[in-house]
Amino acid sequence: MESTPAAWSQTDAFLAETLVGHDPALEAALTAQREAGLPEIEVAPVAGKLLDLLVRISGARRVLEIGTLGGYSTIWMARAVGPHGRVVTIEAEADNAAVARASIDAAGVGDRVDIRVGRGADVLPTLDGEFDLVFIDADKESNTIYLDWAARLGRPGTVIVLDNIGREGEIVREDSTDSKVDGTRDGLRMLGDDPRFDATALQTVGAKGWDGVALALVV
Ligand code: DHB
Ligand code: MG
């Protein structure tokens, strides 16, 4: 087998089939998102399950998500926090938030999810912590702002998950002119340099191409 994007996708499909399975509410959320014309850039099923496991392993009850999109990852985490948990999720686009609201409610976890519509940089200062886990999956240009707020709204022990750190390997191209690449690289440098964090990152290949995720602990 050659290591090609097609092979990565097939392998991801096998892993999802074998380890994640099918779920009507999650799949309905993806259908609703597609039918509404939202970009299909939600986390892969295996990554949704990773978020679920990280929430449960850390015992997180208060989760903050930056970047709701159609609510797919939100549903994963809202289930994981359990009936007494809470997810606050920030979405810049009101149309996306409406799609997410309907899917989250249809999944039966609407009472645990508070969607705040607005740009992260505007909404974050209005939130009260503490959050036990923060998932950052929004505009990459603002990653350092989001990481700063994740630390401020967290506590020692808060888990931070930062999506899309791979960017097809572009992060090592010093001459890149892509602002998403710059934002991703700046976020990773902050995780490495800022004493509030202990972090690592894992590259992934799969349904989303060559990508990856950073994991950090607020220390
Ligand atoms: C992009 C954003 C994402 O959150 C993602 O998972 C994949 C791609 C993007 O903006 O390019
Ligand atoms: Mg993402």
- Provide the pairing of β-strand 113-117 with 159-163: unpaired
**Rounded CA separation 48/75 (Å):** 9
CB within 6 Å of ligand 1 — which residues? 41, 137, 163-164, 180
Which ligand 1 atom is nearest residue 42's CA?
6
pLDDT at 116: 98
Q: How far is the CA of 219 from the centre of ligand 2 (A)?
A: 24
The whole-model pTM stands at 0.98
Quick check: bond before 35 cis, omega within 30?
A: no
Report in angstroms the alpha-carbon separations of 68 from 92, 114, 115, 146.
8, 11, 8, 14
Tokens of 20: 């994640």
Among 46, 164, 176, 213, which is best to mutate for testing ligand 1, by the most ligand atoms less than 8 A from CB?
A: 164
CA dihedral 209, 88, 216, 214 (to 10 degrees): 10
Vertex 20 angle, CA 18 and 24, to 5°: 120
Report in angstroms the alpha-carbon separations of 146 from 101, 154, 175, 209.
23, 12, 25, 24
Q: Which CATH class is domain 5-120+130-218?
A: alpha beta
Residue minimizing CA distance to atom 8 of ligand 1: 41
Tell me the per-residue pLDDT of 199-211, one tens digit each, with 9 for 90 and over.
999 999 999 999 9
pLDDT at 174: 86
> Which H or E run contains 184?
helix 179-193
**Rounded CA separation 72/217 (Å):** 24
pLDDT at 30: 98
Q: How far is the CA of 13 from the centre of ligand 2 (A)?
A: 18
Q: How far is the CA of 193 from the centre of ligand 2 (A)?
A: 23
What is the identity of the amino acid at 219?
Answer: V
Q: How far is the CA of 183 from the centre of ligand 1 (A)?
A: 12
Region of residue 128 (left: phi > 0; alpha: psi -120 to 50; beta: else): beta
Tell me the per-residue pLDDT of 11-45, one tens digit each, with 9 for 90 and over.
999 999 999 999 999 999 999 999 999 999 999 99
